[in-house]
Chain A
Amino acid sequence: MRLRQIYNSRHTICLASRPERYVRTRMSLLPIDIRMLVVFVQVTLSLVACFSPTFNEEVSLASLSKPKLNYLHAVSTNRISLPTTHISYFPVPAGSMGGFLGVTIKDYPKLYYLKGSSLKGPIEGGEPIPTIPGLESFYGFVLGNYTGQPLIVIYFPYLSNPSIGGSDLLVFSYDVASSSLQGPTIMKKILSDLAVSLYFSITDPSITANDLYLLGLQLRASILPTEVYIDTFILQKSTNRYYELSFRMDTSGTVSFNLNLVANRSSGITYLEFNSSPFSETTVGRYFYSPASKKSYAQVYQQGRYWTFYWDEERTLREIPLQGKVSTILSSGDLLCEDGRYGMLYSSDGRFQYKFGLGTLSIPYELYLNGTPTIVFTEVIDQRAEGGQLFYETYTLPTDDLSKLKE
């Protein structure tokens, strides 16, 4: 029996030495487990949380609308030092005319003119312009001969109160021939120079500017490019009466009284009285008037959002649940609003109509171009952080074609 065991064990050993066999082979440099661990730790620690996806919602939304707009021109700031915020661009809607660039630097306004990659200016404002949460520091509107001497009217809401003083309506011009930015060519105080001098001094001389408070102002396009309407919403503090007075200013700076909008809606009545009003002499709001619907709108920014009210010939103040901020009241009477990345169109009585993508686009104003109401769009491309320039591209769209943007 022992012999058999010896034989068997010997035989098995012989098998192991056969020339054809399979064995496990491994790299001996470093165990694979350790190599994998090292790689994973390296990758995880070094790459994770470093990248954004190649996606930008605003760019995608803008690219939905841009192909449907008419490209007008582009300008760049040619590497000047500008603040990263509080920059407003007011394009001149003609050829390669560029536009005005309003900048607030350390609370002081500066105005440049951008044409191509050239930059003219700045012309500095003389008064501090504090930022008002939820509301722009200033509003601008272009008029005049767009290809020869475009003008810009700038309204500073914060300067409208007499207690602060200063001119709250300024006009600057850009002379194409001399490539020079000029102004302010006109400086006005809304309440004293327009409301009192052109209206109350005739209708009720007892009313002084100190008794008035400018709740809001709208710069509205005229079908004539040489003039602009200045619609005001004024509170008479002593009587809590609200006036809506419209003025007209031409390119020479001549301002004339246009209409008492209240009387225009309801003959014989020159002012409004609201039983319960969100407006007071401390309210800083925005005001719009639509000659098409003869409705007026006011927006106030409270509790982190815009509250919108409107009234008409019934003179009853109604709140309408608009989403976002009113950009402009279109010549059609519809309300064009912006809410973050989207534009929304509401009917004159506040009914939602449709939404469209804006993204990086913004809507500074509606103008009449060759007699056609046209919405102006701008897109800002800020590459200064990467050592590049600040670009503004301008697009236009006839107001009647706005529904093309509807998705």
Chain B
Amino acid sequence: MVVGRLGMNGPIGKTFVMIGLLCVLSFLPLTLDKGWAQVSTTETSGLPNQEGRTEEPSYPVRKVMVFFRTEGMGSEESTIFYDSLVIFLQGNPYNKRIVEGLPITGPDSLNERASVSFRRACDSWFLVQVKKQADAIEVSYQLYDIPYESYRAEAKYATEFPSARDRSTFFWKPIREALRELPPLPKDPVFTLRGIPGTRVFGLPGGVKELNAKGIATFAAPTPATYTFRAEKLGYEPFEQQVLLKEKGGDILLVQRRGTLLNLDFSLLNGQFPAFYMGFFPIPNTLFLKLGLTSFFSGIGPFLANDAKFEPFVSYPLMTVDLQMGGYLSSSDATVRVYVGAGVFLRVFYSDLRTMLDPVLPFGGYPLIGVEYAPKRGNSVFFEYTPRIILLDTQTKGSVPMESYLQTAFFKDSLISGTSVEELFWLELISFRLGYRVRL
């Protein structure tokens, strides 16, 4: 295949190459801006949520901080007693986790003990006091439940001085049994998401939720807390929402707006000739069909390329009718959206004789790649590149090579934007639209 010359003068050609390079470099990172990216999915909170199943609430393990005070004991003896207490309590069968107090004696006030406990992620505390009197020993203890703001156990007992064996078998048993009085923490309440079936919700505990066929998904979440989630559904506007979840469960209604069904493009082909396109979205926001008209009746002349014949405005009896189909690769609420597609077009020549298809280059097609910039997630400006392949009517062929014949005819006063391919097609590499897009 012989591809003809794409004529670009030296400095101008270099300029275009630089521009193209900059454009590519500028657009390249756009695809990396994914908006919501999952940082880690290696662990979950243990709240599986499959379609149709109700979320099971979790029972967080209770953690008890143990403060210990003695009277009449030396420090060594006191430590022995404390260690035996902690070891005995850690062997409790009630699923309570024991954390040593720091400091062991703990603060004096109730609030400070709670504060110290929180710093070690504990939700309750024991205060055990041992008073040694001759051969007798008196033990008093308090078990405080911080969330419920109440003492769960408070007792006192006295025995003869325990041996090491006693300390590891029964001496601390009343205290360990007091752990039974510590109820489980409240369950995480269950919330129900209601919306369009198939909607995927990101950012809530338990991983990505997908609404089932009834438009329902449930999840359990520790409360009270504020969560920010994002809902996405093909054909609907994605949205982010912040909710304050209180202790009791409830419904969260996803207010989902259907995506764009129509849009209008006001643009300039090659920055020169006005074009008007109307787009219809069979899949809102995503898949589009467009019908466009580009008029060459009045346009900006190629004055930058031809200083000698300055014509700010030019007119040609030509119009193109375009049909495009394509889809967006980016989310509809992204500031920058990339889309790709393909198009076909007819070149309508309205001569004084009659309106007809251009007898030289009647119709063609093109791939398209576009990027639109919508800083406020609504209307946007866009740039669309559409390198065109146009069928060359072979009846126009004469003895002169068509490539040079048409280049002479088309580009007398401007830069060359295309070339013929095997005298079968005309390849127009410089073809783009710049414009403003209105979402309806």
Contacts and interface: CB of A to CB of B under 8 A. Distances in A.
Interface of A: 2-4, 6-8, 10-12, 14-15, 18-27, 29, 32-33, 35-36, 38-40, 42-44, 46-61, 63-64, 66-67, 71, 74, 341-342, 355-357, 360, 379, 381-383, 385-386, 388, 391, 393, 407
Given A6-B118, A7-B146, 9 more contacts: A11-B222, A18-B45, A22-B202, A38-B26, A40-B373, A53-B318, A55-B347, A60-B358, A74-B400
Interface of B: 15-16, 19, 22-23, 26-27, 29-30, 32-45, 111, 114-115, 118, 121, 123, 146-147, 149, 202-203, 205, 207, 222, 224-227, 230, 268-273, 296, 300-305, 314, 316-318, 335-336, 347, 349, 351-354, 356, 358-361, 371, 373, 375, 381, 383, 390, 393, 395-396, 398-400, 404-415, 417-418, 426, 428, 430, 432, 434
A39 B28 CA distance: 12
Contact of B316 (A11, A26, A55, A71): A55
A404 B272 CA distance: 37
A391 B401 CA distance: 11
Contact of B23 (A22, A24, A39, A382): A39
A19 B42 contact: yes
Contacts of B400: 74, 381, 391, 393
Contacts of B381: 40
Contacts, number: 238
Nearest to A38: B26
Given A60-B351, A63-B393, A18 B205 contact: yes
The residue in A6, A33, A39, A357 that gathers the most chain B C-beta atoms within 10 A of its C-beta is: A39
A32 B414 contact: no
A59 B317 contact: no
B434 A22 contact: no
A55 B121 CA distance: 77
B37 to A, nearest CB: 5
B33 A32 contact: yes
Contacts of A52: 302, 314, 410-414
A335 B131 CA distance: 136
A56 B45 contact: no
A40 B205 CA distance: 42
A356 B317 CA distance: 16
Contacts of A74: 398-400
13 contacts: A6-B118, A14-B222, A24-B36, A25-B37, A32-B33, A39-B22, A39-B23, A43-B432, A51-B270, A52-B410, A54-B410, A54-B417, A381-B405
B225 A43 contact: no
Given A2-B111, A18-B205, A47 B411 contact: no
The residue in A59, A388, A391 that gathers the most chain B C-beta atoms within 10 A of its C-beta is: A59
A26 B335 CA distance: 12
A29 B375 CA distance: 19
Contacts of B222: 11, 14-15
A361 B301 CA distance: 25
A25 B408 contact: no
Nearest to B247: A8
A386 B400 CA distance: 15
Given A40-B383, A47-B430, A52-B413, A4 B318 contact: no
A323 B121 CA distance: 99
Contacts of B414: 50-52
B45 A26 contact: no
Nearest to B415: A50
Contact of A27 (B32, B361, B430): B32
A18 B38 CA distance: 13
Contact of A388 (B404, B412, B417, B428): B404
A386 B405 CA distance: 11
A355 B27 CA distance: 52
A124 to B, nearest CB: 29
Contacts of A42: 19, 22-23
The residue in A32, A48, A49, A56 that gathers the most chain B C-beta atoms within 10 A of its C-beta is: A49
Contact of B41 (A14, A20, A27, A50): A20
A38 B26 CA distance: 9
B106 to A, nearest CB: 15
Contacts of A63: 359-360, 393, 395-396
A46 to B, nearest CB: 5
Contact of B114 (A6, A33, A67): A6
Contacts of A32: 30, 33, 335-336
A326 B440 CA distance: 56
Contacts of A7: 118, 123, 146-147
A101 B111 CA distance: 112
Given A43-B23, A66-B398, A342 B314 contact: no
Nearest to B398: A393
A46 B408 contact: no
B26 A27 contact: no
